[in-house]
Amino acid sequence: MLDPQGELALTFDNVLKTLTCGSCNKPFIHPVTLDCGNTLCLACLPETLDSSSKHCNPHGTHVDVTLAKLTKICLETEIKALEPTISNSEESPETRFSKLYDLLSLEFECQICYQIFHEPVTTVCGHTFCYECLLRTHDHNSSCPMCRHQLDYSEISRSSINFTLSRLVSLCLPEVVLERKRQLDQNAMNEHNEVPLFVCSLVFPGMPCQLHIFEPRYRLMIRRIMMTRTHQFGMLLAGKNGKPFVEYGTMVRIKSIDALPDGRSLIQTIGLYRFRVLNHSSHDGYFIGGVERISDDPVIPANPTPNSTQVTTVEEMVDTIKCFINTLRNGSAPWLLQRLDKTYGAMPSQPEEFSYWAASIIPIEEYEKYKLLTTTNTELRLRMILHWTQRFKEQWWFSCGGCATIGVAIDRLMPTR
């Protein structure tokens, strides 16, 4: 039912005017909604449209089902109002309008979420749904929920709001529209208090990572992230022993996104900083959680243990690791060197940044590298990397000049997921 104050403020003319074609200034006859969100009668569509206007072309000749029904309801009500009444108990305008708005309200319901339309968009087949509802449905099934017509993701994602229907909903149900918006805003605020968590792979601060997003839950997550100001989310390795993910991860920022026609996307990210997960929960199929930022402690020189090498200073460890990496580079193909330089950039000068850069290049299993992520001591992290290099040097193929073998391993570990 309409709000009583809304009933008094509305008139039949207001509703019918909203359902009027902007070209012929008459009530819609076979309304067709354009890409730009405007609606015209089918007969009023121009034979040719400006080719430079990519977003003002008709979806096709399919009638906008919802607007066609709404127009029919209003015209039938108008005809009944003009008919001579036989009974002495003539129906009051308020009662007639109330019945009209009840009928209209039934058509304002999205058939996916079963709530009032929010940002309604009309498909090529003429059916209308909430924009976000349609995108989420397309993540799982590419056909129209009403008629099973195949829908293209790129067309949905760039669709404009159906202006006529949006105005009509706001006109007839203003209080319901405001309440729906308040609920959505509150849900968005709650989401911003926790970080979306992507369980995928290991990435270090300052290092790039390319991701192929294809699972419906993560497609939804990325869309929501792109609506935020920071475009950030947490990246973690999958857990072991029944745990959903590991305790430490890296916050990453989306640098660019390439949306594919079928709804998948390729995104370029960059690591920002490390974090520890304090708590987590599941939200629409993916994890969100509260996190604590992790930083390195000040560098404090440590005394060597009996089993360690004679390298004791950070500078010496950095130099030794650099020599090892240069040895690998000298034994690698030129195309691989170009790919490494393009992906990871130049060798950093700061010890902390260098440790992440070196760990990304050296081909070690990810869960072994994960130990570096939990360490808050740059010197200890460098010692762990140094230990890896010593293990490589002890292999027979390395001493025989087999750097090409490790070059292949490096290529397999390049940041494409």
User: pLDDT (tens digit, 9 = 90+) per residue, 225-246?
Assistant: 988 878 899 999 999 988 999 9
CA distances from 77 to 74, 113, 271 (A): 5, 29, 61
Among 1-10, 154-163, 184-193, 336-345, where is mean pLDDT lowest?
A: 1-10
What integer pLDDT is reported at residue 51 of this predicted model?
43
Average pLDDT for 47-64: 60
Q: Where are the beta strands (DSSP E) in 15-96?
A: 31-33, 39-41
Q: How do 208-213 and 195-199 pair as beta strands?
A: unpaired
When the pLDDT of each residue in the chain is averaged and rounded to a whole number, the result is: 81
Q: H helices within 52-145, ranges in order?
A: 65-82, 93-106, 131-140
- Pick 268 or 53 by higher pLDDT: 268
* Confidence band, pLDDT 50/70/90 cuts, at residue 106: confident
Among 2-6, 174-178, 363-367, where is mean pLDDT lowest?
A: 2-6
- Pick 185 or 407 by higher pLDDT: 185
Which DSSP string corresponds to 254-293?
EEEEEE-TTS-EEEEEEEEEEEEEEEEEEETTEEEEEEEE
Q: How do 208-213 and 265-283 pair as beta strands?
A: antiparallel
pTM of the complete model: 0.63
Quick one: tokens of 377?
């001591």
- Pick 7 or 158 by higher pLDDT: 158
What integer pLDDT is reported at residue 11 of this predicted model?
63
Q: By the 8 A CB rule, do 151 and 144 touch?
A: yes
What integer pLDDT is reported at residue 49 of this predicted model?
55
CA atoms of 165 and 173, how far apart (whole Å)? 12
CA angle 61, 67, 70 (to 5 degrees): 145
To the nearest whole percent, how much of the chain has pLDDT over 90?
38
* Confidence band, pLDDT 50/70/90 cuts, at residue 381: very high
* Confidence band, pLDDT 50/70/90 cuts, at residue 52: very low
Amino acid at 165: L
- Pick 410 or 147 by higher pLDDT: 147
54 has a pLDDT exceeding 50: no
What integer pLDDT is reported at residue 88 of this predicted model?
45
Amino acid at 24: C
H helix count then E strand count, the chain: 16, 10
Q: By the 8 A CB rule, do 415 and 200 touch?
A: no
Query: 10 Å Cβ neighbour count for 20?
Result: 16
Average pLDDT for 150-177: 87
CA atoms of 211 and 342, how far apart (whole Å)? 17
> Highest-confidence range of 124-133, 306-315, 341-350, by mean pLDDT?
124-133
Q: H helices within 107-208, ranges in order?
A: 131-140, 153-157, 163-172, 174-192
Average pLDDT for 146-165: 87
| Size of the chain, expressed as the number of residues it contains | 417
55 has a pLDDT exceeding 50: no
Sign of torsion, CA 252 257 260 262? positive
Q: Tell me which residue of 128, 81, 114, 119 sits closest to 100, measured CA to CA.
A: 81
CA atoms of 130 and 138, how far apart (whole Å)? 12
What integer pLDDT is reported at residue 296 of this predicted model?
84
Name, in order, each residue with C-beta under 8 angstroms of 374's C-beta and a sequence gap of 6 or more.
247, 248
Buried b (16+ CB within 10 A) or exposed e, 203-233: bbbbbbbbbebeebbbbbbbbbbeeeeebbb
User: pLDDT (tens digit, 9 = 90+) per residue, 243-263?
Assistant: 999 999 999 999 999 988 888
CA atoms of 362 and 357, how far apart (whole Å)? 9
What integer pLDDT is reported at residue 135 of this predicted model?
86
What integer pLDDT is reported at residue 338 of this predicted model?
65
The structural domains of the chain, ordered by start, are 12-47+54-82+92-185 (3.30.40.10), 193-294 (2.30.130.40), 314-412 (no CATH)
DSSP 24: T
Chain position carrying tokens 């947490």: 234
CA atoms of 288 and 227, how far apart (whole Å)? 16
CA angle 179, 185, 188 (to 5 degrees): 145
Q: By the 8 A CB rule, do 202 and 414 touch?
A: no
Sign of torsion, CA 263 268 272 275? positive
What integer pLDDT is reported at residue 404 of this predicted model?
47
CA atoms of 362 and 368, how far apart (whole Å)? 11
